[in-house]
Amino acid sequence: MAMSPFFTLLRRDMTLALREGGAIGTALGFYLIVIAMLPLGLGPDLNLLSRIAPGLLWIALLLSALLSLGRMFETDHEDGSLELLAIGGTPLELVAAAKALAHWLTTGIPLALLAPLLGILLNLDLSAYGVLVLTMLVGTPAISFLGAIGAALTLRARRGGLLLALLILPLYVPTLIYGIQAISGALLAGQSFWPSFLILSALSLGSLVLGPLAAAAALRIQLQ
Amino acid sequence: MTNQSITQKLANPTRFMSLSGAILPWLAGLAVAVIVFGLYRGWTAPPDYQQGETIRIMYIHVPAAWLGMMGYALVAFSSFGLLVFRHPLADVSAKAAAPIGAAFTLLALITGSLWGKPMWGTYWVWDARLTSVLMLFFLYLGLMALRSSIEEETLAAKLTAVLALVGVIILPFIKISVEGLSIPWLGLEIPAWNTLHQPSSVFRSDGPKIHPSQLYPLLYCALGFTLLFFALHMKGMRNEILRRRVKALRIAEVDRARAAEAAAPAE
């Protein structure tokens, strides 16, 4: 069955991520351990934890997703396949988009699905589970696609991992703010869920465009 | 020659060096004179009826915040010039502007927190405008960190330019998400994340909402600090050009020494 280069690449990257196992497992494990450490630092006050749980879950998710971003182009750059992809017929923008999408499917979605489970540890209100997962599923594409920019920019930098976090975390501010606002909008009386949720969706859709364009520009500069 | 624009004429670093060398002392002198005059006017302006003497912090805080934003715009503009027009001085400009813009942003944060202590009772509050200026500072840090962590200078220049352009696209979204947005005639109202800060009192559709006795010193200070910014920027660009020349000379020196070594008969 003939497949377009985009889907071939997507399937290849997902297969690699799943077979290696390490990447997804590490991100999920990191997410779990960060959330488990928080009550140790903040104290076991269940009322406090349940009040700040959505924010903690979102921030820890950002950090966990950051961990695996650095690998997005690195392995392909090391073994030279990135150069082959660059001189192939597929535009580099599509290559970057396929890799970012693979990152979202193998990291963003698993993390978002793990979040409610971790919510139990933080005494998250039961009524918040659905909206928490929904905002995370809608918001995480921005993490992967904006993250692709950082991964491409730091490909040949020293201390790439730390640098990536410094470059990319400020770009996640709007996603974080509207993700949290949508959740509190759904939970608190007198606030509405939809405006924040729609802005969150718009941010993700915008990042689908900006991410691959900027990442491809950064890759092209380095592969010249 | 006649149909060259000013930016094309300045593309020759030698011409830029001679021109900026002539302008810089005057620009720097004017900046100092206007700042001294503006600060003097600020010092002698009447204290605010609510904020008392602390209003005088504003004469530094507000220009610093403006210049922090202008600096990022200048970095982004120069980055665009580098990536699109490949202007030879564009990267020199972007590289020189980033630390200056970051310094003014930091100055705005520090003066803001000094003002916040008597007014809000604490040095730092998670106020919307403070937060968005802090994020601007982080974007500057990212630019400088990325540049310093890539060895090859042309590569570092282009990648930093890409980051600056991404930053300038996302910056409005960061600002709106933190500070909110209100466009009455479109019926658009996005609430701020959290705010204690007083809204801007100079740029308003219904005219400046600040007493002339305070407005004029502020404008003098703004003008003076803007002149200072450009004087520093010009000096920074000159330093960068000289540094690159020294580096090129050193490399040439090493090459010459190697060539002489290779040509010398083995003993």
Closest-CA residue of A relative to B177 is A174
Chain B residues closer than 8 Å to A203 by CB: 173
Band (pLDDT 50/70/90 cuts) for residue A56 is very high
User: Looking at residues A92-120, what average pLDDT do you find?
Assistant: 94
Closest-CA residue of B relative to A219 is B159
User: Looking at residues B132-137, what average pLDDT do you find?
Assistant: 93
Q: Please determine, for residue A1, whether its predicted confidence score (pLDDT) is greater than 50.
A: no
Look up the ipTM and state it: 0.91
Q: Please determine, for residue B264, whether its predicted confidence score (pLDDT) is greater than 70.
A: yes
In a domain, B253, yes or no: no
Per-residue model confidence as pLDDT tens digits over B169-182: 999 998 888 888 87
Q: Please determine, for residue B13, whether its predicted confidence score (pLDDT) is greater than 90.
A: no
| Whole-number percent of chain A with pLDDT over 70 | 98
Higher pLDDT, B143 or B3: B143
Backbone dihedral region for residue B203 (phi beyond 0: left; psi -120 to 50: alpha; all else: beta) = beta
Higher pLDDT, A76 or B51: A76
In a domain, B181, yes or no: yes
CA distance B177 to chain A (A): 5
Q: Please determine, for residue B209, whether its predicted confidence score (pLDDT) is greater than 70.
A: no
Cβ of A210 within 8 Å of Cβ of B169? The answer is yes
Domain enclosing residue B75, as ranges: 24-237
In a domain, B227, yes or no: yes
B189: phi then psi, degrees, rounded to nearest 5: -145, 100
Least confident of A67-76, A142-151, A194-203, B58-67: A67-76
In a domain, B84, yes or no: yes
* Residue A29 CB neighbour total at 10 angstroms: 12
Helices (H) and strands (E) in chain B, counts: 7, 2
Tokens 């297969």 found at = A15
In a domain, B11, yes or no: no
Tallying the residues shown for chain B, one arrives at 267
In a domain, B5, yes or no: no
Q: Is the dihedral of CA B58, B59, B60, B66 positive or negative?
A: positive
- Whether the Cβ atoms of residue B178 and residue A173 lie closer than 8 Å to each other: yes
In a domain, B260, yes or no: no
User: Looking at residues A64-81, what average pLDDT do you find?
Assistant: 88
DSSP category for residue B188: E
User: Which residue, among A162, A177, A196, would best test binding to B if mutated, counting the most B CBs under 10 Å from its CB?
Assistant: A177
Closest-CA residue of A relative to B171 is A171
Band (pLDDT 50/70/90 cuts) for residue B1 is very low
What is the C-alpha separation between A48 and B238, in angstroms, rounded?
55
In a domain, B78, yes or no: yes
Per-residue model confidence as pLDDT tens digits over B60-71: 999 999 999 999
Lookup: tokens for B156: 């570092």
| Whole-number percent of chain A with pLDDT over 90 | 60
Least confident of A58-62, A102-106, B61-65, B188-192: B188-192
Q: Please determine, for residue A122, whether its predicted confidence score (pLDDT) is greater than 50.
A: yes
| Averaged confidence pLDDT in chain A | 90
DSSP H helices in chain A: 5-20, 22-42, 46-69, 71-78, 81-87, 92-103, 109-121, 129-153, 160-168, 173-187, 194-223
The domain tally of chain B equals: 1
Q: Which of residues 83-102 of B touch A (CB under 8 A)?
A: 83
